[in-house]
Amino acid sequence: MPAAVKTNDELFLEGLRHALNHLYDPEQLRTSRLVQLFALDGQHAVATRLQQLLLEAIEALRPATNEPAGAGRRRIHQVLQLRYEQQFAQKEVATQLGLSVRQFRRLQQVALESLAASLIATYGLAERLDHASAVGAPRREDVDVETMAGELPQSLQWILGLSPAENTATGQALSDVVRLVQPLAHHHHKQLVWHGGVECVAAIHPLILRQAMVHLLNTAILHTPGSEIAISVICEGVEVSICVRSGAGGVGADQVEDGGEEAEIADWDNEEAMVRQMLGVWHCALCIVDHGDQWQAELRCKRAQEQPVLVVDDHAETIDLLKRCLEGTGYRMIATHEPQRALGLALEEQPCAILLDVMMPDMDGWEVLTRLKQHEATAAIPVIVCTVLDQSELALSLGAYAFVRKPIRREALLALLDAQPVREPARR
């Protein structure tokens, strides 16, 4: 049976959902098909204009202050504000509203439809939609991660709410897991051997790595031979390998690679299948071989490459906040409260992005931005202007990559940093 053809209203709703999911991603907004529908193409600062249009539309649905907390309009505005304006995950918003994830998804659909209807009425889009051709239809690669929900069991839906920018320091994470399972090992007369020492950052969320390692150590303690279980970490090139070995000498690395079909465990139990699904979402692999008296599991992840981010802000509390925002991610912060040092640090560090305050003594952010853009070696570095005032037009006209108002949320900051194009450092 052929798939049903979607109406233009349905395609507009899909395009709206996609734009809201990428509300703080300038590159995605620039290429949104909503740009043409709202007649923004060809205008200056298209991404910022579309972002402001959507934020204003959400604000326009704010109910009167005297409406009761449980009123439908208030619920709809809460969903739009928390889910899209503040970029909270589905599960977080559902918890705040006292709903199950399934109930929240139904309410989220109603909220999206209400916002779409408001936009169509406000901007007179009905006639344009009648003549539109697949307007707002998301590209295959732009489909929101929530579409993966149907591929995961209900018990793993929470994974979709985790930030993809989170990384894990393996040393601390493994020490915590070893400490957690130590009583179980002692009860079964097993010795856990973990010397630490090797510290690297793996591109996997801490919760995912923790759950996977708890499963592997639990399996090694309860179901493998030998009295000693060795845990080791190897950081080579762009890969991190975490090995758990049990039995007479363990299994060699060459056997893990080429052990043959007879060595592979074919019938995974439900728990192991779930662990593999969890790891698969994070592009990590799990290889287990069992030779009877020797057992080994190897968890392979990408190695997180920490990129420098330069913060120029004269407020210590803002620098501390941004530092916390970047902890455990693929970024490391370089900060200065002296705007005069910004150009020199940018030349020396060649950061992937610069977060720039505007209102600073002695030299304001506009002067710093101008100097950065005039210097050949720093002109291509994306600058994100951060201030409490809405001065987006000025920032973008002076060459800023993006503009955000303080206080900046962690999710919005990471979305902007993750959207930066990869570039080669300029010659100084």
Q: Which two tokens stand for residue 370?
A: 């101008």
Q: What are phi and psi of 230, to 5 degrees?
A: -105, 135
Question: What number of H helices and E strands is found in the chain?
Answer: 17, 12
Q: Does domain 307-418 have CATH number 3.40.50.2300?
A: yes
Type of residue numbered 104: F
* CB within 8 Å of 364: residues ≥ 6 apart: 339, 358
The Cα 420–Cα 228 span in angstroms is 46
Angle formed by the axes of helices 101-122 and 8-21, nearest 10°: 110
- pTM exceeds 0.75, yes or no: no
Two domains, one topology: 168-302 and 307-418: no
The Cα 269–Cα 164 span in angstroms is 27
The pLDDT tens digits of the residues spanning 169-186 come to 888 899 999 999 999 999
* CB within 8 Å of 102: residues ≥ 6 apart: none
What's residue 80's pLDDT? 93
Span 168-302: which CATH code? 3.30.565.10
What's residue 198's pLDDT? 67
Type of residue numbered 122: T
322 close to 413: Cβ distance less than 8 angstroms: yes
What's residue 71's pLDDT? 57
Q: Where are the domains of the chain?
A: 8-161, 168-302, 307-418
The pLDDT tens digits of the residues spanning 296-307 come to 999 998 887 678
Residues of the chain with pLDDT under 50: 1-6, 133-150, 249-268, 425, 428
61 close to 67: Cβ distance less than 8 angstroms: no
What's residue 45's pLDDT? 79
